[in-house]
Amino acid sequence: MFDDSFLGRPDTLWHPFTPMPPVGPREVLARAEGAFVYTESGHKLFDATSSWWCQSLGHCHPRLVKAFTDQAKVMDQVMVAPHTHRPAIELGDKLLGALGEPFRRLFYSDDGSTAVEAALKMSLQFQKNVGQPKRRRFMALERGYHGDTLGAVAVSHVGEFHDLLPFESHVFRARVPSRADDEAACLSEVENFLKNEGDTVAALIAEPLVLGAAGMHVYSLSYLEKLVRLVRNAGALVIFDEVFTGFGRTGPLFALETMPRDLRPDMVCLSKGLTSGFLPFAVTAVTKTVYDAFTGGPAKAFFHGHTFTANPMACRVALEVLRIFEEEKIVEKNRVLIEQMAAQKARFLALPNVAEVRHLGMVWAVELKDAATGQPPVPANGPGWRIASACWNKGLWLRPLHQNLYLTPPYCATPEDLSRAFDVLLSAVQKES
């Protein structure tokens, strides 16, 4: 019945983003604590990607374990249509306080993709509710990524994910400048599109400041500000997808804080760091203007929801995450690690197989090239997987993204942990060159 086995037992797990059956070494993960994960065979690994960018405060944080178990003893999943509960009320106050103006309402869901789906659907219905039903298109960033459900895939633009779309997405993709001297050309393309078809656009969705899944491509605040201004002037909404960038990943608590007040988005999607990766949970936060368009009777209501909306344990854990950020001054503390990451650039750039090093806040990436030709390696992730495998053997857990290797470390990492991780990575990249 089973044509695949692992450790002498039928293998039942269909792994995400993995050609099946998997090839190469695999181990059973047994335990996780702080910045480290331990396998059943006793191998200790530094979780350099914070397990897909979510374990920001570290694994099994004692305060989150307590918040979760305390709540689990009192009340588990309950329906919140139209009732509410204390964990949702308290999280709402705290999260809106942290986001600041202009956010006023929170729509909870389960993960990054569902937070994005909610935002996209909200913006379509917003336009209909305010008498702009022609606005049914989206603008998005070239190389953007917003999740794997079909709506999110439609606005995303990372190659291999898109081929299966069963519909035309009609998305205008704004080119993101990788050099300052390309900014004006990118903006002029946007301007031209908006001049001709701006009245068909419901919203722009953008990962602010860093295109994560594209390979940790950092882009300028100046471009983002000008892009948002153009979109606003054309009467469309602005959605920031902070699923990755939220909760300190780019430096400040939210990337949107770097924007002038009048250019902050109408909606923001959060997940991953919302519970510090402890539980699947997400939120789409919106302004009063957006929310008001959905009030005033059943015809205006947002008919969208998920079974586990506002799960009480997830709310309590997210509340505790915000308290930890505040009480332990996590954003300020991260500055030491951020400086340490910035200082790594030169020694990687000195290697013949390194094309570029990118860094923003708690995101750091090295882009590889073929040392002989100077071109991207073929296949793109070939050297990346060999390097990741060498690092794994030395206690450093990474995953390549195309021709890039990156670190998005947990904030509880010590300078010594980080220093060792960079040494191990440097030596593996050097051996591959």
Contacting residues toward ligand PLP, per CB under 6 A? 111-113, 116, 145-147, 207, 212-213, 241, 243-244, 271
Minimum CB distance to ligand PLP smaller for 58 or for 215: 215
Which C-beta is closer to ligand PLP: that of 239 or that of 337?
239
Residues 6 or more apart whose CB falls under 8 angstroms from that of 268 comprise 99, 103, 239, 240, 241, 242, 246, 254, 256, 284, 285
Q: What is the DSSP letter of 258?
A: G
By beta-carbon proximity to ligand PLP, the closer residue of 111 and 320 is 111
Q: Which is nearer to ligand PLP, 50 or 129 (CB)?
A: 50
Q: Which two tokens stand for residue 54?
A: 């979510």
Record the tokens describing residue 311, joined without a space: 């799960």
* 86 three-class SS: helix
Q: Which is nearer to ligand PLP, 47 or 207 (CB)?
A: 207
Q: How far is the CB of 271 from ligand PLP (least distance, A)?
A: 5
Q: Where are the beta strands (DSSP E) in 76-129?
A: 103-109
Nearest distance from residue 78's CB to ligand PLP, in Å? 23
Could you tell me the smallest distance in angstroms from the CB atom of residue 363 to ligand PLP?
A: 11
Minimum CB distance to ligand PLP, residue 248 (Å): 15
Q: 237-241 and 36-39: which strand pairing? A: unpaired
Closest residue by beta carbon to ligand PLP:
112
Between 18 and 69, CB nearer to ligand PLP: 18
Listed residue (210, 219, 159) closest to 406, CA to CA: 210
Torsion of Cα atoms, 287 then 101 then 149 then 50, to 10°: -170
Q: How far is the CB of 272 from ligand PLP (least distance, A)?
A: 7
DSSP 381: T
Closer to ligand PLP at the Cβ: 111 or 266? 111
Smallest distance, ligand PLP to C-beta of residue 115, A: 7
Query: What distance in Å separates the CA atoms of residue 414 and residue 44, rounded to the nearest whole number?
Result: 16
Minimum CB separation of residue 249 from ligand PLP in Å reads 10
Unique residue bearing structure tokens 């009732």: 83
- Give DSSP secondary structure letters for 279-322: S--EEEEEEHHHHHTT-SSGGG------TTTT-HHHHHHHHHHH
Closest distance to ligand PLP from the beta carbon of 406 (Å)? 12
Q: How far apart are CA 408 and CA 398, in angstroms?
A: 10
Of 124, 131, 318, give the one whose Cα is nearest residue 205: 124
Locus of tokens 């500055």: 335
298 CB neighbour count, 10 Å cutoff: 6
CA proximity to 144, closest of 175, 170, 114, 122: 175
Residue 107 in tokens: 């729509």
State the Cα angle at 16 between 149 and 394, rounded to 5°. 140
Nearest distance from residue 10's CB to ligand PLP, in Å?
27
According to DSSP, the β-strands at 44-47 and 36-39 are: antiparallel
Q: Identify which of residues 198 and 280 has a Cβ nearer to ligand PLP in the complex.
A: 280
Considering the complex, state which of residue 112 and residue 384 has its C-beta at the smaller distance from ligand PLP.
112
**143 or 369: CB nearest ligand PLP:** 143
CB of 348 to ligand PLP, least distance (A): 24
C-beta of 277 vs 377, nearer to ligand PLP: 277
Whether residue 143 contacts residue 217, with contact meaning beta carbons closer than 8 Å, is answered with: yes
Token readout for 276 is 């510090």
CB of 233 to ligand PLP, least distance (A): 25
